[in-house]
Amino acid sequence: MAKQKKAPATEEQKAEWAEARKAKVAALKDRSDEAVAALAEPKAWAAMLHGMGCFGRRYSLRNVLLIITQLPGATNVNGFWTWKAQGRDVRKGQHGAAILAAMRGTKSTEGEAQEQAKPAAEQATPAEGAQGERKGVRGFKPETVFDISQTAPTNPDAPDLCPPVVDADRAAIVHWPAIVARIATHGYDVETWTEGDDEEDGDQGDGYEIDTDSRTVRLTTNGDLADARQAVHALACLELGQLDTGEGYEAAVVDSVAHIVMSGLKLTADAPDPEDFDAIGEALSDTDPETIIEAVETVAQAARDILDAIDPMPEPAARPTRKS
């Protein structure tokens, strides 16, 4: 029997759907505003860093906040059709996270949801206007994304790599040359130092030293992974221009950049400890949302610049055609 075509929507129905969409978009914007204000709390800041490290290169800050508040612990997030294209199906009964997808031209795509509403620091170019408005975006609509833990392989015989295995030791070896090369762009060489190699140098202890006189980053070597993590912390200092952070807010900002980068490079799969960011809470408490966003954008931009240099993202694949 031939399928009967649905009757076209009436103008009244279209108007109702448009109003419903506007209400959902407004609710999501309100929710993201609340999430921004909550970033003054170390626990929320740490959760934001974990989300930015896991999927922040594909989603805007506000969408990252929407995801982590609806799907705490999410590590790899995509839309329904993107998961299907990757050989995974969203399991029945799963509730995803609603995010804001940009609508361009005549329709919106999931890929645009990943690219929309980047921070104002990225948007405010002469071609886009002083207010950072991106050309071609005519509004936003709700769109749902799911974490990998909510999916299963389409082929039941295929191995289910969930949660994904993170080989941090291999990642350290793979990314080490690019990390050193990025440090070199700041005019610094990298040296590894083993305790006891030179008694006259004294005990540097665990960690790294940025010698501005010799333009050298010295690492106390404890193996490939430890070296890579220390180098990322030193690189975060160089990227931010904070060469003598000590303790407090500046040190917490460096740690924030370093965590996003290490997570993005798969040098760690661990969520950060909120107690490491108490100084963030002290500095941002009783401040306005604009100040909080500015602090987050400083961290996010530095991390993004490092990641783009060390591990450039491939061009996004076209969205699969929806079956009728």
CA distance 324 to 321: 9
Mean pLDDT (the chain, rounded) = 83
DSSP-derived letter for residue 277 is G
Q: Backbone phi, then psi, for 244, in 5-degree steps?
A: -135, 80
pLDDT exceeds 90 at position 104: no
Task: State residue 54's pLDDT score.
Answer: 93
Q: Is the peptide bond before 163 cis (omega within 30 degrees of 0)?
A: yes
Number of Cα atoms under 13 Å in the Cβ half of residue 38: 16
Q: How distant, in Å, are the alpha carbons of 115, 155, 194, 263 from that of 307?
A: 17, 33, 28, 10
Name the pLDDT band for 205 (thresholds 50, 70, 90): very low
pLDDT reported for residue 262 = 96
* CA angle, 246 then 251 then 257, to 5°: 150
- Cα–Cα distance between 17 and 20 in angstroms, integer? 5
Where exactly are the structural domains of the chain? 16-153, 168-310
Range of weakest confidence among 53-62, 102-111, 250-259:
102-111
Report percent pLDDT > 90 for the chain: 61
**pLDDT value, residue 187:** 96
CA distance 262 to 225: 10
pLDDT greater than 50 at residue 317: yes
Average pLDDT over residues 181-198: 84
- Which pair of structure tokens corresponds to residue 115? 């690219």
Least confident of 56-70, 115-129, 133-147: 115-129
Q: What is the pLDDT of residues 121-137, one digit of tens each?
A: 333 222 233 333 445 67
Specify the higher pLDDT residue, 301 or 322: 301
Task: Average the pLDDT over each of 115-129, 170-184, 225-239 and give the range with the smallest value.
Answer: 115-129
Residue 312 CB burial class (10 angstroms; 0-12, 13-18, ≥19): exposed
Q: Yes or no: say if 293 and 36 are a contact pair by the CB < 8 Å rule.
A: yes
Q: Tokens 């991390």: give the residue.
A: 303
DSSP-based three-state secondary structure for 98? strand
Task: Quote the CA–CA distance of 283 and 262 in Å, as a whole number.
Answer: 24
153 phi and psi angles, rounded to 5 deg? -60, 140
Confidence of residue 3 (pLDDT cuts 50, 70, 90): low
pLDDT at 269 over 50: yes
Extended strands (E) in 18-70: none
Assign 163 a pLDDT band (cuts: 50, 70, 90).
low
* Range in 169-183, 223-237, 247-261, 306-320 with the lowest mean pLDDT: 306-320
Q: Which range (76-90, 102-116, 208-222, 309-323) has the least confidence?
A: 102-116
